[in-house]
Structure 1
Amino acid sequence: MLTRYIAIAAIALTLTGLGGCSVNPVTGEKQLSLISENQELALGAEQYTPTQQTQGGRFYIDPELSIYVRDVGQKLARVSDRPDLPYEFVVLNNSVPNAWALPGGKIAINRGLLVELEDEAQLASVLGHEIVHAAARHSVQRMQQSMLISAGVAGLGFALSDNEWAGLIMGGAALGAQLALAQYSQGDELESDAYGIRYMKEAGYDPQAAVELQQLFLKLSEGRQSGWLDGLFATHPPSAKRVQENQELVQNIGSGGYRGRDVYQRRIAKLKELQPAYDAHDEAMKLASEGKFEAALDQVNKAIKLEPREAMFFALRGRIYRG
């Protein structure tokens, strides 16, 4: 059975220092393999919806924007090293600038990041980066490392029953959120940058957009922008090394290609038009957390007046009334 295989393999690793290996589908390098591809796909599929719900849920007010993001993502997925993964791309109703990927190609980007991008090539940079995280099994590798640590601590008692493994896979949003929001290693980030840039080039986008975006992220991180620190930078830490290596790669493969600024700006025009309403909502949340309920109520009522179709605003007003 699945669980017994994983448990036995993990225990064997702790006892012998040896374990099952496979070839990384992106890099071609040998790596530890305790979780099969079928298990990887099942994990992503089961955790995708509950993880979205913990991160604000889908952004439904502008369905055309979601379709656009999906189409850009699928264009990149087709040129990836694992084009047959069941990729999905969604826009989340969350002001924090962030994007994440679960195993099996389940990818999300927050509206809070979309409003910060300038063109379609920059969007392609973000999505291509997340595609590599999924294709190269980065979160699966982190899971396996955690399993080995557990095996080392628990010894032979690590073996899980079938029901316990099912609970891990089906355990609601906790595991998915942990995978989505855990910080990637610098090696994972550099790998996702490098192959994501190659995917951009193959799909016809200007890879220089990826360098520009990393330069912006590094500048924002140095300025200690709180929203970014809580979002993208917490999971995808920028660094001067990333900027340098990305620039060197672009110089080698050549810049130039589609930028799509006008198209992108048209696609996010509605989102930008709605931004004052979400700003008021976010300010209301901040005020409520400080116990300033009257001021918070004023802000959330402002948000509702600006966009009365947004259920999230009414939910917040209800919580404020309850104190």
Structure 2
Amino acid sequence: MISRTQALTACVAFWTTTILGGCVVNPVTGERQVSLISAQEDIQLGQQHYAANQQQQGGQYTIDPTLQNYVSQVGQKLARVSDRPQLPYEFVVLNNSVPNAWALPGGKIAINRGLLVLLDDEAELAAVLSHEIVHAAARHSATAMSQQQLLGAGLAIVGAATQNSGYSDLISTGTQLGGSAYIARYSRGNELESDQYGMKYMAAAGYDPQGAVRLQRKFVELSEGRQTGGLEALFASHPPSQSRVSANIKHSQSLPKGGITNQAAYQKAIAQLKRDADAYKNYDNAIAAANNKNFDSALTLVRKAQKQQPKEAAFYALEGDLLSQKKQYKNARKAYDRAIQKDPALFSYWLKRGITNIKLKHYSSAEGDLTRSLRYLDTAYAHYYLGQTYERQGNKQSAYKHYQEAAGAGGEIGTMAQNRIKAIANKG
């Protein structure tokens, strides 16, 4: 976080410009800071990108809906005692093994199931959620993006944690599937600020603020170990340190002693996740095996995961990916059918089944699947393969339109689309 002197200097330099925002008061600390994004634009950004970020990171965890409700209730309890209780807060659990949590501008917050299984009680969950609430309430993302613009970088995406979301490039769909992610890599000052005021919110909501101390100690221990358990994404955006532990201990001394931990309630809430731990471990190992081109081993692992938890759509989608890699397209389509039946609200399942239908020359079905995927997330891949679908049916006008959409994304898929545009043009 830039210093108050730096912020005031920037404000003086830019207050006469026509750029919206400028020098504003941090709603949490009361200090002056630079923001070129209005509070209303902040909320709009979060609302605009929340669903897309969820889609890119595995979608919502659906096996146990009561867990979603539980996390949301804890989050809303904390939000009500925050410095900006009027924000349209939302809290979701994502079906992602990476231990991580994030906040978009305007109070749109997510936590991965991979992080929930590392926590011991509700106070530690409250520490995670209150920390993210402060990021949203203090408008840390707006400050980070504004600093980017002041440095001449424009309103850039500051960083997104989308790895290990289950969509490998097994069938050439790649990992960059489109959409924008305004998830900041926060400064050290932002992190300390979120720790401090997050603990304040915890105490105000009746939680034991020592939960935040325990949480940071746990993260420091994990970061110092040889095996971080996939915590790189969390540590990249929320780096742990002994100094943060010490700061949290100091903050806790000024807060009320005691408070609830609700360990029994928390353990009950994550009981299904713990029962399914082996299934998700087999799934993650299957992804790792596939990335190493060990497709037969990956199939064995993911089918074992299916037997352990037959309700998980992601397990069947991965089977479809693996069968597609082996060019067993009919069986791959059956696997995607099962994934869609279990979770019809994730774009990647429709996208992959659409591509498989192209391989099977079922162009009408492919058109329907790819169009459906665009309802959930607009991707260059869906547009490119819709172009393929229309071109192979002789509809050059529609093919050209979708290739143009894909070409605008750049990268490998953009180049492929540009080549098809040139080919169509050459054919007249």
User: Into which bin does the TM-score normalised by the smaller protein fall?
Assistant: 0.7 to 0.9
In 2: Cα distance, 1:229 partner to 1:72 partner: 23
SS of 1:299's equivalent?
helix
In 2: Cα distance, 1:151 partner to 1:285 partner: 36
SS of 1:252's equivalent?
coil
SS of 2:119's equivalent?
coil
SS of 1:46's equivalent?
helix
In 1: Cα distance, 2:49 partner to 2:178 partner: 6
2:14 partner amino acid:
L
* C-alpha distance 234-225 of structure 1, shift in aligned 2 (>3 A): farther
In 2: Cα distance, 1:227 partner to 1:150 partner: 37
CA deviations over 1:214-264 (Å, ceiling 9, x no partner): 011011111143434422111100011100010011112243110100111
Matched, 1:175 2:180: yes
Q: Which residue of 2 aligns with 1:156?
A: none
Q: CA deviation at 1:55?
A: 1.0
In 2: Cα distance, 1:257 partner to 1:173 partner: 43
1:70 partner amino acid:
S
Q: CA deviation at 1:142?
A: 0.9
Q: Which residue of 2 aligns with 1:164?
A: none
In 1: Cα distance, 2:10 partner to 2:211 partner: 44
Q: Which residue of 1 aligns with 2:126?
A: 124
Note the aligned Cα RMSD (angstroms). Answer: 1.8
Report which of the two structures shows the higher radius of gyration computed on alpha carbons.
2
Q: Which residue of 2 aligns with 1:222?
A: 224
Q: Say which of 18, 24, 35 aligns to 1:33.
A: 35
Q: CA deviation at 1:173?
A: 5.5
Indicate conservation of the 8 Å contact 1:220/1:228, yes or no.
Answer: no
In 1: Cα distance, 2:321 partner to 2:64 partner: 25
Q: Aligned runs of 1:217-256 on 2, under 5 Å?
A: 217-256=219-258
Tell me: higher relative CO, structure 1 or 2? Use CA pairs within 8 A at least 6 residues apart. 1
In 2: Cα distance, 1:228 partner to 1:194 partner: 26
Matched, 1:212 2:214: yes
Indicate conservation of the 8 Å contact 2:208/2:257, yes or no.
Answer: yes
In 2: Cα distance, 1:94 partner to 1:43 partner: 23
* C-alpha distance 212-151 of structure 1, shift in aligned 2 (>3 A): closer
CA deviations over 1:163-210 (Å, ceiling 9, x no partner): xxxxxxxxx96432xx32x42111000000000000000000000110
Q: Which residue of 1 aligns with 2:315?
A: 313
Q: Which residue of 2 aligns with 1:161?
A: none
In 1: Cα distance, 2:302 partner to 2:105 partner: 36
Matched, 1:82 2:84: yes
Aligned residues: 289
Same amino acid, percent of matched pairs: 57
Indicate conservation of the 8 Å contact 2:79/2:89, yes or no.
Answer: yes
Using the size of structure 2 for normalisation, the TM-score is 0.65
2:180 partner amino acid:
L
Indicate conservation of the 8 Å contact 1:14/1:151, yes or no.
Answer: no
Q: Say which of 108, 111, 115 aligns to 1:109.
A: 111
In 1: Cα distance, 2:288 partner to 2:153 partner: 42
2:129 partner amino acid:
L
SS of 2:28's equivalent?
coil
SS of 1:126's equivalent?
helix
In 1: Cα distance, 2:44 partner to 2:178 partner: 14
Using the size of structure 1 for normalisation, the TM-score is 0.86
Q: CA deviation at 1:274?
A: 1.2
Q: Say which of 147, 150, 171 aligns to 2:152.
A: 150
Q: CA deviation at 1:122?
A: 0.5
In 2: Cα distance, 1:238 partner to 1:228 partner: 14
1:204 partner amino acid:
G
- Which stretches in structure 1 are left out of the alignment for 5+ residues? 1-12, 153-171
Q: CA deviation at 1:15?
A: 12
- Which stretches in structure 2 are left out of the alignment for 5+ residues? 1-8, 16-21, 155-176, 326-428
Q: Which residue of 2 aligns with 1:163?
A: none
